[in-house]
A and B are shown apart, each in its own frame.
Chain A
Amino acid sequence: MSWREVSLILPEVGVIGLGVLMVLADLVLPRKGWLVVLAVAGLMVLGGITIGAWVGGEAETAFFGTLRVDQFSHFFRILILGIVALVILASVDYVSHFERFQGEYYGLLLFSAGGMMFLASASELISIYLALELTTLPLAALAAFLRGDRSTEAGIKLLLLSALSSALLLYGMVLIYGFTGTTHLGAIATAVQGVAGEGLRSGGYPLLLGMVLLVAGFGFKVSAVPFQMWVPDVYQGAPTPITAYLSVASKAAGFAVLLRVFYVAFGQFDVNWGGIFAVLSVLSMTVGNLAAVAQRDIKRMLAYSTIAHGGYLLVGVAAIASGAPGPTGPTGVLFYLGAYALTNLAAFFVVIAASRSLGSDQIQEYAGLARRAPLLAACLAFALVSLTGIPPTAGFMAKVFIFGAAVNSGLVWLAVAGVVNSVLSAYYYMRVIRAMYFAPPSSNERVPSSLAFRIALGVSTVGVLALGLAPGPLMDVADQAASLLRAGG
């Protein structure tokens, strides 16, 4: 271990250090508002460091090849730092009502973010597993943070089901190790290269099973059907800011590791794994959207919506580059994650503020919100428009790129399924807009919000619009980051 190697993981170390600092500072600081200022300032510094590393640095491996720090990791580091900063800002109102453990709340959030960032760089099976656990355990604690019935249930369910998926994942890793004799992704790629047809039949099945178990384990993280059953219950029960965090950060980290493992380790594996993801994609979209139609609780509806969006994202994973010009699948996934993070955060932020003042998460309670809180209603409406995929929003551009990638790789049917599903999703998104704008309000009470909250909501909403109008810069960045995968790094 050299200082050079430590400096490579400075952002991760920094985030975890910041988490420890939160817990300690909570003991001494009389005004908890400073915690937020400290956290956000720290995250901005770390973001700056990461950008500096991105601009200056080449791809490097560290710690005996367990981590690989490249533009792909930088992309996800920035994304996760941004998400966690926004979630912290938006949590201020929510957390200020806690009597105790405010520092722990922020601390756990940051620990989990550290795990996700490790996940984005991990290039070896054991470190992937460790990073995954570091991500999940704090999240289970956070889901149970309210200690009410539902919250506790959410925490326990997340813990148990993630334990199940971890076990299966680990089993898959073992099988792969057993077959290839290595846990490094690059070495696995070399080992599996020639295994196809006869080779597969003569003893290659454990490898195949290992790969399928990885699909299941990562499918759990990205909430792909049929590994999504935990999502609605956990999302509904967890504190709303945590739900927001889960829906975007956890998903982003899941896709980061999924892309890295499958494109690097199994890129040359002559098995149609793209086909599995295509099928999972259609299932996720369809099940997510259909079930969302039937929901009355907005958090639960957004939970199903998350499953559907996981399906759209899987379209990009399935769209293995065919060499045709135009956006490629992984590039589309990265762009989609950025766009979806901003959009879904904006939507959840409004839900955080509205639910506290409406005292309910029922969609019917949103009636007339446009009159009680015009700005909040407008932001939510705009976010829902983006989730549906209507211009001029980030969601539209993201869908254009990702479905375009599918068409480029010859998966026209998958793109068609995605478009049909987008139409379907309009039904339940628009229903919320209709309630807010066309139904009479039950009271005229205003909905209060703090400055920090408004900054978070403003940043995410403006981001949604900006990406919808000028997708170019993020697209270029995503393309750069994803190009490493194509190069097989």
Chain B
Amino acid sequence: MSEIAAWGIFLAPLASFALIALVIRPFFNRCDRLSGYVTVLAMVVSLALSVGALQAVMAGDGKPLEWRAESLGLSVGPLTFIPGVYLDPLTAVMVVVVSLVSLMVQVYSLGYMKDDPGYSRYFAYMSLFTASMLGLVLARNLLQLYVFWEMVGLCSYLLIGFWYNRPAAAAAAKKAFLVTRLGDFGFLLAILYLFFHQGVFAVQGMNALEIPDIHEAARTGLLATGVVTWVALGVFVGAMGKSGQFPLHTWLPDAMEGPTPVSSLIHAATMVAAGVFLVARMFPLYEASSAAMNTVAIIGGFTALFAATMGLVANDVKRVLAYSTISQLGYMMMGLGVGAYGAAIFHLLTHGLFKCLLFLGVGSANHATGTFDMRYMGGLRKRMPVTYVTFLVAALSLAGVFPLAGFWSKDEILAAAFHGGSAVSLVVFLMGAAAVFLTAVYIFRAVFMTFHGEFRGGAETDPMPPPGEHHVHLAESPWVMVAPMVALAVGSVVAGFLMNPVAPLWGLGIAPAHWLSEFLEGHAVGMDLGVAGLSTLLAASGIGLAYLLYGARRVSPDAVAQRVRPLYTLVSRRYYFDELYEEYVVTRVWYQGLCNALEWVDRNIVDGFMDFVGWQGRNWGAGIARLQTGQLQLYGVVFASGIIVIMAAFLLWG
């Protein structure tokens, strides 16, 4: 693995962006198909290099490979900034998953975005999005990471608002940007706070912004526990924003306004995974602070449960998936919070595969029906068999059914929480277990409502179909869309035991037991049959309940909702968080309270003062100008008295 190849992982999609944005779109927009192919090609290059990187790191027994690009360095005062690549097991795994998922999504987009007038723009953004995410993952310097972190935010804004002439899309893009910015601010504060301790680092010849040095400092206790805790919490606030953790989760469901492959990419590999990645990247800080660790665990566990409840009642299938993502990210955070670093990343990988697949399946269903509202779908099973089967596989995987990918990874997190040995880990274990049940219910509700029963008319009966042109055309999607789905379905089935088998797969001669966990953190959480049995039982009963309510329709869901009306309203209004933020925090506190007060100050005190100064300035100016009489004698007098005054001043005070 050479330095060039390592940078190439990130540079390939960046080059694709530059080529599309600077050459293809301005000059050859007639052949905009080219943009798609260029992007796919770039992803293939990235993927190949990423696999090479993974192999190189594995060959070195997980020892990090790193390069510092001294020539790009910058030094201002005490700040020395040298960008670089840091290729440790975590990065190696992440680049593979990011480029793989991105490749699948780009191939799918070739079909999905066909005929969109913004075809080239779409692929330019997508390339930049992937490049930013890869840059983020590869960064060796915290400031460098932050730059890409913000670029990911920017790209998500551009892509969520891709159809910018739809007011809902524009609003959703703005919301995503602003809400994640709140989190970014926490991250930025953490970086600054770290930087204030540059002195401590400098004594050891280290740099406060270089990630390996931060790890080292946290491990050796160079930084005081208080400092570590605050930095870790600041970083986590950033991660909460990007990964949609409670209470910064409100942007994710709205982000569905973008094209579906974008949602797929955001939810599977790029944007939201960045938060989890960041916490994992800074993991030594958390290990050094139990307060930060417990915060992560509790927020994660709570989000897992909280988001799952909202998934139960949403009618827009993409929103169901959005809540599902929030909930699954909660699992990952929970895993990190109980110290199961490897398990969390393992879940990030498997979730990337099946969540991407779920979105692609929804996109395929939307391609046929023109709507996203499950109430107007139904019966697609017979018309779209491939979509159905792949979606079902992904749903089973999400629900955590043996032996699919999701089962293994989720189980590892739950087992780690169960064996955590503290009150906090027990509480989060219970939250996680409850969420397993809810997950099974909401995802099979989606399966039954979308694919079973009779077709209910699609966009034609939907009173509020998505804007744009829609025609109901019930048939399987084109092969460019189906092929990635099948590939991902295979992945969702086998990834679990290929990536982290509980027993060595000697027969195939491929992988020793728990290799991924070993690779990532050096030890592995064992399989716990009790926990596995419990979670399978919960998942099975969840699926059963969904079948009763939505499949066989033995019990009317409406009747159930009627019985618990207040609770149902509370959940379906998303616990009123949007109202709380928009009406109370933003309108009342921010605009009416703070902004009005500041405006008064600005108008009366600041402007008043400035007006006074300006008025005085003009008066004085006119006065001084009047001294300029044009009389030479006066000039000479002023000249001479100047000398006398200076001399006098010296004699008096000098």
Contacts and interface: CB of A to CB of B under 8 A. Distances in A.
Contacts of A205: 651
B639 A293 contact: no
Interface string B616-649: 0110111011001010101110110111001101
Interface stretch (A140-148, A160-168, A410-418, A455-463): A160-168
Interface in A408-446: 424, 427
Given A157-B632, A160-B632, A291-B625, A220 B643 contact: no
Contacts of B622: 294
A290 B624 contact: yes
A215 B649 CA distance: 14
Contacts of A291: 621, 624-625, 628
B650 interface: yes
Contacts of A290: 617, 620-621, 624
Contacts of A213: 643
B624 to A, nearest CB: 4
Given A168-B643, A212-B643, A229 B617 contact: no
Contacts of A424: 617
A276 interface: yes
B641 A293 contact: no
B639 A164 contact: yes
Interface string A136-176: 00000000000000000000010011001100100000000
Contact of A226 (B620, B639, B647, B650): B639
Contacts of B221: none
Contacts of A212: 643, 646-647, 650
Contacts, number: 72
A215 B617 contact: no
A316 interface: no
A294 B623 CA distance: 9
Interface in B602-619: 614, 617-618
Nearest to A231: B628
A416 to B, nearest CB: 15
Given A212-B646, A227-B642, A271-B650, A292 B635 contact: no
B654 interface: yes
B621 A294 contact: yes
B621 A227 contact: no
B639 A227 contact: yes
A427 B620 CA distance: 14
A230 B650 CA distance: 26
Contact of B617 (A225, A232, A293): A293
B628 A233 contact: yes
A216 B643 contact: yes
Contacts of A157: 632, 635
Nearest to A161: B635
A161 B630 CA distance: 12
Contact of B636 (A164, A209, A225, A276): A164
A33 B96 CA distance: 70
A425 to B, nearest CB: 10
A229 B628 contact: yes
A272 interface: yes
Interface residues of B, number: 25
Contact of A293 (B618, B628, B649, B651): B618
A356 B577 CA distance: 67
A53 interface: no
Contacts of A126: none
Contacts of B624: 287, 290-291, 294
B412 to A, nearest CB: 54
A457 B630 CA distance: 32
Contacts of A272: 654
A449 B634 CA distance: 40
Contacts of B654: 208, 271-272
A219 B638 CA distance: 13
A268 interface: no
Nearest to B622: A294
A1 to B, nearest CB: 38
A295 interface: yes
A32 B651 CA distance: 57
A293 B621 contact: yes
Nearest to A423: B613
Interface in B567-617: 614, 617
B91 to A, nearest CB: 35
A220 B636 CA distance: 11
Contacts of B651: 205
A205 B648 CA distance: 11
Contacts of B647: 208-209, 212
A472 to B, nearest CB: 13
Interface in A362-413: none
B142 to A, nearest CB: 27
A197 to B, nearest CB: 11
A160 B635 CA distance: 11
Contacts of A160: 632
Nearest to B618: A293
Contact of B625 (A227, A295, A427): A295
B628 A232 contact: yes
B473 to A, nearest CB: 55
B155 to A, nearest CB: 27
A160 B639 CA distance: 13
Contacts of A215: 646
Given A287-B624, A291-B625, A294-B621, A216 B642 contact: yes
A276 B646 CA distance: 7
A271 B635 CA distance: 28
Nearest to B635: A229
B636 A161 contact: yes
A271 B634 CA distance: 30
Contacts of A216: 639, 642-643, 646
A208 B632 contact: no
A252 B624 CA distance: 26
Nearest to B637: A229
Contacts of A229: 628, 634-635, 638-639
Interface in A166-195: 168
B50 to A, nearest CB: 38
A292 B638 contact: no
B635 A230 contact: yes
Nearest to A295: B625
B623 to A, nearest CB: 8
A229 B618 CA distance: 20
B525 to A, nearest CB: 54
A220 B642 CA distance: 11
Contacts of B635: 157, 161, 229-230
Contacts of A165: 639
Interface in A263-294: 271-272, 276, 287, 290-294
Contact of B639 (A161, A232, A294, A427): A161
Chain A CB within 10 A, most for which of B638, B641, B642: B642
A230 B638 CA distance: 11
Interface string A225-264: 1110110110000000000000000000000000000000
Contacts of B630: 233
B641 A226 contact: yes
Interface string B134-150: 00000000000000000
A226 B628 contact: no
Interface centre among B618, B641, B654 (most CB of A within 10 A): B654
Given A226-B638, A276-B646, A291-B621, 6 more contacts: A212-B647, A271-B650, A272-B654, A291-B625, A293-B621, A294-B622
30 contacts: A161-B639, A168-B639, A168-B643, A208-B650, A209-B647, A212-B650, A216-B642, A216-B643, A216-B646, A220-B639, A226-B641, A226-B642, A227-B639, A229-B634, A229-B635, A229-B639, A232-B628, A233-B630, A276-B649, A291-B621, A291-B625, A292-B621, A293-B617, A293-B621, A294-B618, A294-B621, A294-B624, A294-B625, A424-B617, A427-B614
Q: Which 10 A-B pairs have the closest CB atoms?
A: A226-B642, A229-B635, A294-B621, A293-B621, A290-B621, A291-B624, A294-B625, A294-B622, A290-B620, A291-B625
